[in-house]
A and B are shown apart, each in its own frame.
Chain A
Amino acid sequence: MSATSARPRVGWRLPPKWVTISLFLLPALAVYLLFVLFPVIQAAHYSLYKWNGLQPLTDFIGLRNYVTALNSSTFITAVSNNLLVIVLSLALQIPFSLSLAVLLNRRFRGRSVFRLIFFLPYVLSEAVTGVVFSLLLQPGALVDSGLKGAGLGGLIQDWLGDPNFVMITMFIIVSWKYFGFHMILLLAGLQGIPAEIEEAALIDGAGRWQAFRYVSLPLLGPTLRVSVFLSMIGALQLFDMVWVMTAGGPLNASNTMAIAMFKAGFKNSQMGYGSALAVILFLFGLVVALAYQRFVLRRDVEGALTVFNG
């Protein structure tokens, strides 16, 4: 005690670097651990039990919930529905958004009005979109009478009632809601490309298509890759809109993984099974995200992420 107090004070010194880093990280880390990591671990724990959410956790059944899930045709349908939306989004939605972005990148009168209009659906909440579309898609409602009026009555479907068609309807609505978002993203990417580069290509004798294909598109790569990534994650999490419109029906034809999880946990009081589905959904998301970061986004994020042993 006396020895310490006897020592002369040198004055303020900065604490070691790691102390600063951990102090700044601590709040975010605490929230992350508490609300992300801990619940995930808890879910993994519950998934090993047969549990209705009310009684104490006593009925340990190992991995049986996972076996049930993988043998359940309902859940397999849900998984394939998610995959279907991913594939269709990549094949149709992103190219569509890209072409709109390219179009709206040109100078013409009313350009910002179009940008605004196309972006608007994204501003609506999913629940509102769901309600609006379930009204529009009622048999004989606006969509049907519109088609009939245009002489396309033969195209009319039982949009939300036909198990074979409901996912197509769902995909169209999801695309309608999100194409504007991807368009804005890609538009921002396009505007980041200096006009001189494309000009140079054109002067060098490239056609418009060639200039786009070999100059603009590669330079748009980073944005495109992020757009694809967000689209995939969004498709995996698909819930609100489907829940509002069909609740996964008819005959479970529009189930998604998130809907199957919610139904099991909160409708059927099968918290253990629901947790198992939650873990599977989490693993899906994790694997997709990690693989995508590792193999596709790698050059975009180089230097921005810490990668151990390169």
Chain B
Amino acid sequence: MTGGQVVTTRWRLGGMLGAVALLFSACSSGATSAVAPSVALTGAPPASAPAPSQAAAPVTIEWWHISTTDPGKAVFQGIADAYTAAHPNVTIHITILENEAFKTKLTTSIQSGQVPDLFQSWGGGIMAAQADAGALKDITADVASWKDTINPGALSIYAYKGKQYGIPWDMGMIGVWYNKALFTKAGISGPPATWDDFLADVTKLKGAGIVPLAIAGKDMWPSMHLWTYLALRSGGSDALTQMVQSGNWNTDACTAAGDQVLKLNALDPYQPGFKGATYDNEAATVGNAKAAMEVMGQWAPSVEAADSSSKKGIGTDLGWFPFPTISGGKGAATDGVGGGNGIAVGKNASPEAIDFLKFFNSVYNANKINSSNIGMSPVVGTEATVTDVNLQAVLAGRSKATFMQLYLDQATSPAMGTAINEATIALFDGASTSAKACQAITTAAASQ
């Protein structure tokens, strides 16, 4: 890792977008100086003795996260402070980045070989690419002693080819968020259990002059999750896993999902202007009680509130139910689509960094994450600290899950994710057919 190499790799990006090169090299040079200390100390003593010891050599842990706002920011700082108080030889240097800036800066850093010790990760395809590039550390052996404290489904998202490269600290599940008051107004007694009931409820809502469902055509991924559920419920978890792994999406499960979308389209259920809507538009529509439902993850209540005109959302009118089953479908009602946040371990991470991860996911810290509503910890035995009624429902769904599919646009490579998003939004926009959508995804997979 000589200086010369850093310079040449830095130039690689420069080639992509001439003028932007300046910006990038500025970014990566910042990273270079910041990461340097921990690189020099990779050979520090193992942290098997967590008690403070004066003899231990100083270690710096470089940690990048994307919680730019409180409470997340403060909670993370608190966890880091607690760890360094108990381990005076350890310094945790936190870099907080905005989501998109983080992605760009991380890519540049990985190219230059200066990988932070710990950084935000969503697992799946992007983490796999980072592992393939040799940027991550295999921590399988390090976590063996404490991995049972974490929900195995959540943990598996941060494993690739049988090796563990990171750990989750938040794991949720996509479901249907609905407005109870609007349901009552439309004469619907309770959440639908089957897809046919769901469609019947859509008709009832429509009849009552209520927009049944909000989606986001510009951002594409919200309706992609709905489609994923339809494929999962029609074909079952094996069929979906098979499609993701083989890249052959010309299957019955895939076309069945498309057919159900077209059935839904026929009821004209989406909010006006949905084709150009962003996710924030979608959340605002539901948060302002202008639409009755959205298919979304555990973060929906907070985003709906933030995007609503009252800043409070629809409060206690909000309810959650698991995605309905399809009669005759092979999928179980307990199969889920989900994902969350985690921390990946960079290739130069010290044993202290991995020890910090263990501390990070201690029951105490996990409870703090739950009670401050920044995530739903996958640490076993911390369910009680999730107090919000709706989040408890999500948590119950997650705990009962017999299968958990990571969000498709994250489970696959970024290019595949885009292809899936684009193929499915074309269905919802009424510009494609089931067969065409499946073929488009298959074609994209073939060119990987």
Contacts and interface: CB of A to CB of B under 8 A. Distances in A.
A57 B111 CA distance: 11
A161 B18 contact: no
B15 A54 contact: no
Given A265-B16, A265-B17, A278-B17, A246 B218 contact: yes
A66 to B, nearest CB: 14
Interface of B: 11-19, 21-22, 104, 107, 110-111, 126, 129-130, 132-133, 135, 217-218, 220, 272-277, 281, 413-415, 417-418, 422, 425-426, 429, 431, 447
24 contacts: A39-B17, A43-B16, A46-B15, A52-B413, A54-B110, A54-B129, A139-B273, A140-B273, A158-B272, A158-B273, A161-B217, A161-B274, A163-B431, A249-B217, A249-B220, A249-B425, A250-B218, A251-B426, A252-B422, A262-B17, A266-B104, A267-B418, A270-B415, A275-B15
B132 A278 contact: no
Contacts, number: 123
A8 to B, nearest CB: 48
Contacts of B21: 35, 39
B373 to A, nearest CB: 29
Interface string A24-47: 000000000001101111110110
Nearest to A138: B273
Nearest to A258: B17
A46 B276 CA distance: 34
Nearest to A262: B17
B182 to A, nearest CB: 19
Contact of A268 (B13, B17, B18, B418): B418
Interface string A235-253: 0000000000011011110
B415 A162 contact: no
Contacts of A265: 16-17
Nearest to B135: A54
Interface of A: 35-36, 38-43, 45-46, 52-55, 57, 68, 137-140, 158-163, 166, 246-247, 249-252, 261-263, 265-271, 274-275, 278
A88 B129 CA distance: 43
Given A251-B422, A267-B418, A159 B276 contact: yes
A38 B14 contact: yes
Nearest to B106: A54
B14 A39 contact: yes
A38 B272 contact: no
List the 5 closest pairs (A to B, CB-CB), nearest first. Answer: A42-B15, A161-B275, A139-B273, A161-B276, A54-B133
Contacts of B14: 35, 38-39, 42
Contact of A138 (B135, B281, B414): B281
A267 B414 contact: yes
Contacts of B277: 161
Contacts of B22: 35
B130 A39 contact: no
A53 B108 CA distance: 9
A274 B17 CA distance: 10
B11 A38 contact: yes
Given A250-B425, A267-B414, A270-B415, A53 B275 contact: no
B8 to A, nearest CB: 10
B132 A54 contact: yes
Given A55-B132, A246-B218, A251 B18 contact: no
Contacts of A38: 11, 14-15
A39 B15 contact: yes
Contacts of A68: 447
Q: B12, B129, B135 — which one has the most chain A CB atoms within 10 A of its CB?
A: B12
A254 B396 CA distance: 42
B135 A268 contact: no
Nearest to A36: B18
A263 B217 contact: no
Nearest to B281: A138
